[in-house]
Amino acid sequence: MPLKLLNPIITALKAAVVVMVIGWILDIPGRLQIGLFTEQVLVAVLGCSLALTFLLFPLGSGPAGEEAVATKILDKDKEESPVGWLDLTFAAASLICCFYVAIRYQSLIVELVTKPWYGILVATVIVLAVFEASRRVTGLSLVLIVLALCTHALFGYLLPDVFAARPVTLSRLVVYLGIDTNALLGNTLQIAVLVVVPFIIMGQLLNRCGGSDFFTGLASALMGQFRGGAAKVAVAGSVLFGLVSGSAVANVASVGTITIPLMKRAGFPPHIAASVEAVGSTGGQIAPPVMGAAAFLMAEYLQIPYSAVMLAAIIPAFLYFAALFIQVDLESAKLGILGAPRSQLPRIGTVLREGWHFVIPFAVLVVGLIWLNWEPEFAAMSATGILAVLAMVVPNKGKRMSPREVIDAVVSAGGACVDIIAITAIAGILIGAMAITGVAFSLTQQFIAISGGSLVVLLLITALAAFILGLPLPTVGVYIILATLAAPALVQAGIPEIQAHLFVLFNGMLGMLTPPVALAAFAAATIAKSDQWKTGWTATRMGWCAYFIPFMFVYTPALVMNDTVPMIALHFMLVMLGIFIGTVAVVGHCFARVQALWRVGYGAVALMLLVQPKMFAGASYVIAVGAVLAIAALIREALRGRAQPAAA
């Protein structure tokens, strides 16, 4: 298709997505006294997003399809795009069927009781379009899982009782999956469209107006002069950018292009530089105030304010980044990498003076979410509106954004959200397939039966399932599957709901770091030009603490801010001590190099401190002994450091 025709079509679809989302959040239909169901907006946005997916990820383009198309669109020497007629057919069919449902929804939901042929046809096209769109943005893994559940819905009645499902006809299944509010048009898609998209809009505008440069400059001013300062800048930058991104790969792409070359120039080997950025960027999914789409879904599933999810995640997120920060510091000491001279770094006063206006939207966001109890989408829209005004009024490095540039940045969010909409749409189909057959309840009981009533075994099974699913799937996909299947089993075993769901979320993101897939690590390796496998295993080592944190907070409510202040402080300090000793064991360096035998001993001491009092009888005594041994170990390492001033 000629690019001069494709470009305006893509822009119009992006703009339509953004306009519909913003209009619904600001209640424009209500102000105009136009009666609309939420589902009508959802299916209209879904239609535009599916069409965009087929145009931005044409057949044969692979997961980098959007970048490939964007490059060719910007290439003025090219006249033809990689989008073929089959892609255009998929896009047109998606638009027509979704808008048909959106326009006729109020009468259609009544007519569908009799399953008319046009209802079955439209629902079938929408379901197939969602499958194909999900395949293009995430690969086959999630599609095959959902197809297996749909097959089970059709033929499950033939299986033995323990695996049996209620009989369902094909026509009823398709209509239910494609149009019912318990399936595709349910909570998962609603959260993606009406909650996550506003944050994506904010992130896109922040990127375009220089926000990522401000965060990197602020991190450099704060951390650059310290030992291994370049890597600490990467950690701090990932935390700051993760406040609005919530996506591991997006963090790597945005922050890593700056920090990874900086770390390499400072003396870090390429695979270590890439690993630091991958681990830091993955943590953006659990860094409040914006923790990615899964956190919003969690709040919806648990029927609690999003601020409660944020509060529960503060200590686990801090422990995660503290472990990485300590490891970076000790790794720098081991490699002899010093900080940059103060004269080569930006001054914090200068950075804040030039970018102070970037702080205001975040203040509005946090105050709105926590103290004013705003809905997340309204808080994001308010912060974005303030950011847009400031970007046009206050110059950043001598340049203000024009209204056209602000509009372009906002419209670009319509293309940046297609992957999350496709994932949550097929996740809705997955939930519908399990709901119509009752398989969710039976699988929950199977989890409990397999564990034999042992909470430890149940946690290990759930963690393993989350890890395996997290290898090929994005974190939000893993969370939706296991929040439906495994989290109820954890709750039945006596774990509070928010701890059970956070347990699933934390374990689901580990696949971003761990080979054989390790999307965040491999993306960082591409930027660093390092070996992907070596980077993946190094990232696994650097993120070692993330494999233990879920097991700690699932047993200890204090680690999710659900206890008295003294108990929260006590548990926090003990875990931090364990993390420090464990990191010394992993790196093999403290004030001086640590020999292998001592590293093993320090690792054992760390495990004693990471044990939680409710894990088993006598655990408190193990922790107390571990604390004494840890203090003794620190004294020993300090004395060794004084005896080896050159190494120190």
> How far is residue 418's CA from residue 449's CA, in Å, rounded to a whole number?
39
Cβ contacts of 422 within 8 Å, gap of 6 or more: 49, 50, 53, 130, 133, 134, 136, 137, 138
Q: Which is nearest to 271 in space by CA: 528, 568, 590?
A: 528
621-631, pLDDT tens digit by residue?
999 999 999 99
Q: Which helix (H) or strand (E) holds 599?
A: helix 596-610
Which residue shows structure tokens 């390092």?
530
504-536, pLDDT tens digit by residue?
888 888 888 888 767 788 888 888 888 888 998
200-232, pLDDT tens digit by residue?
898 889 888 887 778 778 877 887 778 877 777
Residue 322: pLDDT above 80? yes
pLDDT > 70: what percent of the chain? 90
Highest-confidence segment of 41-45, 197-201, 276-280 = 41-45
| pLDDT score for 68 | 38
Cβ contacts of 33 within 8 Å, gap of 6 or more: none
CB 518 within 8 A of CB 511: yes
42-92, pLDDT tens digit by residue?
999 999 999 999 999 988 665 444 333 343 333 444 556 678 889 999 999
Average pLDDT on 609-623 reads 92
Instruction: Report the b/e string of 432-458 with b at 16+ CB within 10 A.
Output: bbbbbbebbebbbeebbeebeeebeeb
CB 398 within 8 A of CB 96: no
| pLDDT score for 647 | 42
> How far is residue 63's CA from residue 57's CA, in Å, rounded to a whole number?
7
Q: Write the burial class of residue 628 (CB in 10 Å: 0-12 exposed, 13-18 middle, 19+ buried).
A: exposed
144-157, pLDDT tens digit by residue?
989 998 998 888 88
| pLDDT score for 258 | 75
16-30, pLDDT tens digit by residue?
999 999 999 999 999
108-135, pLDDT tens digit by residue?
989 988 889 999 999 999 999 999 999 9
Average pLDDT on 611-635 reads 93
Highest-confidence segment of 158-162, 297-301, 636-640 = 636-640
- The two structure tokens encoding residue 580: 């420090």
Angle at 300 between CA 417 and CA 173, to 5 degrees: 75
Residue 182: pLDDT above 90? no
242-263, pLDDT tens digit by residue?
655 556 776 777 677 777 887 8
Q: Mean pLDDT, the chain, as a whole number?
A: 85
> How far is residue 421's CA from residue 53's CA, in Å, rounded to a whole number?
10
CA atoms within 13 A on the CB side of 58: 18
SS3 (DSSP) at 269: coil
SS3 (DSSP) at 361: helix
- The two structure tokens encoding residue 280: 């830091």
Q: Tell me the β-bridge partners of 593.
A: 589
pLDDT > 90: what percent of the chain? 39
* pTM: predicted TM-score of the whole model, two decimal places: 0.80
CB atoms within 10 A of CB 30: 11
SS3 (DSSP) at 63: coil
Average pLDDT on 550-569 reads 93
CA atoms within 13 A on the CB side of 108: 24
Residue 648: pLDDT above 50? no
458-467, pLDDT tens digit by residue?
899 888 888 7
Cβ contacts of 25 within 8 Å, gap of 6 or more: 194, 198, 377, 378, 381
Q: Write the burial class of residue 531 (CB in 10 Å: 0-12 exposed, 13-18 middle, 19+ buried).
A: middle
> How far is residue 476's CA from residue 456's CA, in Å, rounded to a whole number?
25
CB 150 within 8 A of CB 127: no
Q: Tell me the β-bridge partners of 2.
A: 80
> How far is residue 92's CA from residue 207's CA, in Å, rounded to a whole number?
31
